Structure 1
Amino acid sequence: MDEILKKAMRSALYMMSLFTVVWAFVPDGRAVAAGIVLGCGASLFNGLLLRRRIDYIGRITVEQGPRKMSLGLAGRLATVLLVVMIANKFPQHLNVAATLSAAFYVQIMVFLIGIVTYSKRSSGKG
């Protein structure tokens, strides 16, 4: 799982780099490019939060210790809400739709990379 998340995060960094270049050289697409960069940044942060949560759950499962309650999903949703509110506050600089769609980039890429990885591993039988 860790290698899949690393690949997804690396692709998000490449996408952010690409849209930073688009922002610099395409004046008409600056709001969309900036929204995608902001959304991908939030998606990277959420990916790190999710990775930390998965490591914590694995550690607790092995140790059989008392579980600590936390705001796992609520924290990730608050991150998305924050970047959408920022984009909504500055519509001349950030596109809200681009920000919202890019805020789920890492999670979608984890899903797609996981499908590709596990379909290569299966022999096609069964």
Structure 2
Amino acid sequence: MDKIVNTAVRAVLLITAGCLVVWALVPGWRTVILGLLLGLAGSSLNAFLLRKRVQRVALGAAGMGPSKSGLGLGSRIATVLLVAMIAYRLPEKFNMPAALIGCMVVPFILLAAAYFINKRQS
């Protein structure tokens, strides 16, 4: 799981670098790019929350971890809602559709990274 998340983080950093270049070169797209970056930040946070949750469940299944559970899906939904609230409150800085699209990017990157890593191993 760590290898997959690390690969996804590298891909997100490359996308972020590309977005920053576009932000610097195309002033008309700044709100769209900032919305996308906001969504990518929220989506990356969700990936780290999911990794922590999977590690906790794995330790619990092995009998070595705590048996109490956290919020799980609720914290990840709250992160997306926070991104949407920020984009809604500051429409002059963040584009709402771009922020919501950015929230959906990292799960697809995680799927692609898992596919390629598992294909390479087998």
Do both share a fold (TM > 0.5)? Answer: yes
Aligned to 2:108: 108
Note the alpha carbon deviations across 1:49-102, whole angstroms, 9 max, x for none. Answer: 111111111111112666212111100010001101111111121111110011
Query: Equivalent residue of 2:94, what SS?
Result: coil
Q: What is the deviation of 1:11?
A: 0.8
Query: Equivalent residue of 1:69, what SS?
Result: coil
* TM value normalised by structure 2: 0.90
Distance 2:66 2:113 in 1: 33
Aligned to 1:47: 47
Aligned residues: 122
Structure 2 residues without counterparts, runs of 5 or longer: none
Distance 2:98 2:20 in 1: 14
Query: Equivalent residue of 2:20, what SS?
Result: helix
CA RMSD of aligned residues (A): 1.6
Q: Which amino acid in 1 is paired with 2:22? A: V
Query: Equivalent residue of 1:63, what SS?
Result: coil
- Structure 1 or 2, whichever has the larger Rg, is 1
Q: What is the deviation of 1:104?
A: 2.0
- Map 1:1-126 → 2, pairs under 5 A: 1-63=1-63, 67-122=67-122
* TM value normalised by structure 1: 0.88
Percent identity at matched positions? Answer: 37
